[in-house]
Amino acid sequence: MNPAFETEALSWYEGSARQRVAALVDPGSFHEVVGPEERATSPHLALFDLPEQFDDGMIVGSATLDGAEVLVAAQEGRFMGGAVGEVHGAKLVGLLRAAKALRRDVLILFDTGGVRLQEANAGETAIAEIMRALIEARGSGSRVVGLVGGRSGCYGGGGLIAGCCSALIVTEQGRISVTGPEVIETNRGVEEFDSRDRALVWRTMGGKHRYLLGGADAFVDDGPGAFRAAVQAILAKPERLDLATLDAEQARLERRLVRFGTASDAVAVWSILGVKDAPGVPGLSTQAFHAIATCRESADDAR
Amino acid sequence: MRDWATQGSARAARIAAGAPFARGKVVALSDLAPFLEAVLRPGDRVCLEGDNQKQADVLADALAEVDPGVIHDLHMVQSGIVLPSHLDVFEKGIARRLDYSYSGPQAARIARMLYGGQIALGAVHTYLELFARYFIDLTPQVALIAAVSADRDGNLYTGPNTEDTPTVVEATSFKDGLVVAQVGQIVDRVPRVDIPGDRVHFVVDAGKPFYVEPLFTRDPAAITETQILTAMLAIKGLYAPYGIRRLNHGIGFNTAAIELLLPTYGEALGLRGQICTHWALNPHPTLIPAIEAGWVEQIHCFGSEVGMDDYIAARPDIYFTGSDGSLRSNRAFCQTAGLYACDLFIGSTLQIDLSGHSSTVTTNRIAGFGGAPNMGSDPRGRRHPSEPWLKAGAEADPDTPAPLRRGRKLVVQIGETFGDANVPLFVERLDALALAEKLDLPLAPVMVYGDDVTHIVTEEGIANLLLCRNVDEREQAIRGVAGYTEIGRRRDAGMVARLRERGVIRRPEDLGIDPLDADRSLLAARSIKDLALSSSGLYRPPSQFRNW
């Protein structure tokens, strides 16, 4: 038996979107809608002589998680870096609208570099529609949980959508940001940000830093079991999206600017947070990291 | 009466000219360019130390700053054209002639400058070949070398990255040449003496370590399933049947996959202790899991590798280490070891033609040779027998009586039929031939000659060229593993089928390998972090490889 097909042994970072979904939810419970057999492909890519994919890099459907009904969306980072195009985006909009109608919780398995450049207008519009649908679903009581641990990270419009979620779960390899390393370097120079210095990229945008800053709510190991446990813990709590929560988050972000505004590197931020051996943070195991992360900031359901 | 000691007098004159810039042997960094103008002479043969790993970078920059009105027409005899300053000296007219070995990072610029006539090229060599010429007809008059530290007498500590230094100093200093070393620091006592001070005439405190490129670090995260399949074929179809214990690996991802499959796939095949025990190899991080699992007995190294020093120092039974506990590498000795004492070389290439010639030259890039042609050739001077060598010899020449039959070193080319950016590996005609015509070279820069290649491994199978009895069979054996490239599609299907019956071509299924088993979960480490963990934290990956 090949260990890759034993789903609990799956590396989230290395897995495909379909492998992640299958490994996360109750076995056999996933029912895809607008699946590849319907061949809802991008109407734009052919103009650029680029290959299409029958699911357009987005997999949506319903499943059960420990018996509870949930809706699931997963981006395929192996297809155009999980970039958001017209069909890709529309499938997520539809899922979020269904969540509102069905009062169902939603899991979004992010793996994206942002909007697909070849269909930029449609992609940008899709991001806006997704954010609106996401907030409306949350307003009606659905919880929307983002899972970030894929190779492409969660960048661009994906970072904006993640910012609207009820909660985010991230791994060490997971990255969350809006502007990507290469774009920063191109626009501001290598002195500002060396995109090839991977240690710099990860300590600035990676899971550990996002968790310590309150940009993510759970930090987990790179496997479906760890993600599942974190999802269940988050879904055990009620959705809170009210003015008081948002006011508190606004105050926290203002405070954050004062507290960390002069730090020029993530290591300085961790020192200010009170981590004793800040340069040693990237080397810590998950367990050791949780032990020192008690000093982290928390967004308390609103980000 | 002839003066029999002109070279010694010339060196004395150079030392006298340099002395005003020095206190004892130590020259200040700020005086480096005028110092070089004082000790160099126009037309000198100069060895500027630098290969595919370590670089005398401070001396290289200073040499590029000297006044071409004073110092010009130098003849550079050096292993590597790697730093921009290595070519700046030609652009500025400081140097004119060049004999070298490797030019990976400057491959495009050196091609442009050769086409433009800015460099008068002697030849492109293998490392060992260039070292040999240092002692015959390319002896340097001045060597500019790099070390970790020096004491005030000029004793040098070259540390884990000793590499070419002993060879360069031997050839220069004992033929009355001048040796100038850049060091990271001046100390009272060096940790070990790699180069005795009486061979070193001046020392420059660069105030920082010399540059080292982490060239031999391959991120397991980038290994594809096709590469894993080729690695499975190599282990089960070559290493196991020939019983390969002594070997050298190239730096590609296919060979990194082999290293990472030993503790998993190799273990399942029961091959531990049977194969891959003795190596001529740089300290590849991807070999850590196999070392930790008890596969490896010993390794001799050409150079070191960034981040591996603590791991090596903690595994002295495996590596060659000095009295200070750190690695002692030596490129000349390791190249010799790879040539004479290894039974197999396996590496990747960019182009293979129908005769089996291979080359990494494309018309716009001249990467040089480095050590591959030396590793990847059959040593005609070898006389000691070994099982794989005799077996390969018998396959190639079944009719000669065994006592008079030469053995054969296994020289294996491994790769995917379509490489980076879907460029086919197999070609009708090597780009190296077009380059030779364009530059009017008497020799095309062929990395490994077809008559040295014994096997070609692709995802489609293994072609055993030892078993081919004529050029037609050889051509069809190559076409038979060339997949859907143009070369592969023009195969003679009937002849390929007959070659397969004879075992000249072996498909994965002929070896009991299911391509669907080629999965990344077979890798003993799937990321750089896994490698660091499997070294118990002793391997410290450089920043550019750390995605955490």
Residues of chain B in contact with residue A201, where contact means CB-CB under 8 angstroms, are 547
For the cut 90, the answer to whether the pLDDT of residue A2 exceeds it is no
pLDDT in tens, A102-148: 999 999 999 999 999 999 999 999 999 999 999 999 999 999 999 99
Among A14, A202, A206, select the one facing B520 at the smallest CB separation: A14
Spell out the domains of chain A, with CATH numbers in brackets: 3-171+220-241 (3.90.226.10)
For the cut 80, the answer to whether the pLDDT of residue A222 exceeds it is yes
B153: left (phi over 0), alpha (psi -120 to 50) or beta: alpha
Q: B547 and A173 in contact by Cβ < 8 A?
A: yes
Average pLDDT, integer, range A257-286: 94
Q: Give the Cα-Cα-Cα angle B353, B357, B361 (nearest 5 degrees).
A: 85
Q: Which residues of A26-38 are buried (b: 16+ CB within 10 A; e: fewer)?
A: eeebbebebeeee
Cα separation, A182 vs A114, in Å, equals: 13
Average pLDDT, integer, range B248-255: 95
pLDDT band at A1 (very low <50, low <70, confident <90, very high): very low
Mutate to test the interface with A, among B223, B225, B521 (most CBs of A within 10 A): B521
Q: B521 and A198 in contact by Cβ < 8 A?
A: no
Cα dihedral B70, B73, B77, B81 sign:
positive
Cα separation, B171 vs B206, in Å, equals: 24
Residues of chain B in contact with residue A3, where contact means CB-CB under 8 angstroms, are 519, 521
Residues of chain A in contact with residue B221, where contact means CB-CB under 8 angstroms, are 14
Q: A197 and B543 in contact by Cβ < 8 A?
A: yes
Q: Picking from A240-249, B119-128, B321-330, which range would have the lowest pLDDT averaged per residue?
A: A240-249
Looking at residue A4, its pLDDT comes to 42
Q: B544 and A173 in contact by Cβ < 8 A?
A: no
Cα separation, B75 vs B94, in Å, equals: 9
A288 touches chain B (CB under 8 A): no
pLDDT in tens, B465-484: 999 999 999 999 999 999 99
For the cut 50, the answer to whether the pLDDT of residue B158 exceeds it is yes
- Per cent of chain B over pLDDT 90 is 95
Closest alpha carbon to B528 in B326, B256, B302, B229: B256
Looking at residue B440, its pLDDT comes to 87
pLDDT band at A298 (very low <50, low <70, confident <90, very high): confident
Cα separation, A116 vs A114, in Å, equals: 7
Amino acid at the residue A244: A
Residues of chain B in contact with residue A197, where contact means CB-CB under 8 angstroms, are 543-544
Contact B102, B79 (CB under 8 A): yes
Locate A277 and state its tokens: 């051996």
DSSP H or E segment with residue A129? helix A120-139
Cα separation, A90 vs B286, in Å, equals: 43
Contact B312, B160 (CB under 8 A): yes
Cα separation, A75 vs A56, in Å, equals: 9
Average pLDDT, integer, range A37-42: 96
pLDDT band at A3 (very low <50, low <70, confident <90, very high): very low
- Per cent of chain A over pLDDT 70 is 97
pTM for this structure? 0.89
Q: Give the Cα-Cα-Cα angle B229, B235, B239 (nearest 5 degrees).
A: 150
Strand segments, DSSP code E, in B423-464 are: 455-458, 461-464
Spell out the residues 6+ positions from residue B334 whose beta carbon is closer than 8 angstroms to its own.
Answer: B280, B300, B301, B302
First to last CA, chain B: 72
pLDDT band at A5 (very low <50, low <70, confident <90, very high): very low
Cα separation, B55 vs B65, in Å, equals: 17
Residues of chain B in contact with residue A206, where contact means CB-CB under 8 angstroms, are 547-548
pLDDT band at B72 (very low <50, low <70, confident <90, very high): very high
Locate A41 and state its tokens: 């492909």
Locate B386 and state its tokens: 């070994």
Strands B455-458 and A167-171 come out as: unpaired
Amino acid at the residue B56: A
Cα separation, A279 vs A267, in Å, equals: 6
Closest alpha carbon to A134 in A170, A163, A169: A163
Give the C-alpha distances (Å, rounded to integers) separating A219 from A173, A229, A290, B180, B227: 11, 11, 8, 54, 33
Q: A196 and B517 in contact by Cβ < 8 A?
A: no
pLDDT band at A9 (very low <50, low <70, confident <90, very high): confident
Average pLDDT, integer, range B157-163: 97
Cα separation, A123 vs B384, in Å, equals: 68
Q: How many Å lie between the alpha carbon of B486 and the closest alpha carbon of chain A?
A: 22
pLDDT in tens, A203-220: 999 999 999 999 999 999
Beta bridge partners of A156: none
* pLDDT, chain B, mean: 96
What is the Cβ-side half-sphere exposure of residue A207, based on CA atoms within 13 angstroms? 29
Residues of chain B in contact with residue A199, where contact means CB-CB under 8 angstroms, are 543-544, 546-548
Residues in chain B: 548
8-state DSSP, A238 = P
Contact A180, A156 (CB under 8 A): yes
Q: B544 and A3 in contact by Cβ < 8 A?
A: no
Closest alpha carbon to B98 in B73, B112, B71, B77: B77
Contact A172, B528 (CB under 8 A): no
B224: left (phi over 0), alpha (psi -120 to 50) or beta: beta
Cα torsion for A112, A115, A117, A122, to the nearest 10°? 140
User: Could you tell me which residue, A238 or B407, shows the higher pLDDT?
Assistant: B407
Average pLDDT, integer, range B237-251: 97
Residues of chain A in contact with residue B519, where contact means CB-CB under 8 angstroms, are 2-4
Locate B339 and state its tokens: 């040539």
For the cut 50, the answer to whether the pLDDT of residue B369 exceeds it is yes
pLDDT band at B222 (very low <50, low <70, confident <90, very high): very high
Longest CA pairwise span in chain B (Å): 80
Q: A173 and B543 in contact by Cβ < 8 A?
A: no
Looking at residue B100, its pLDDT comes to 97
Closest alpha carbon to A91 in A42, A46, A162: A42
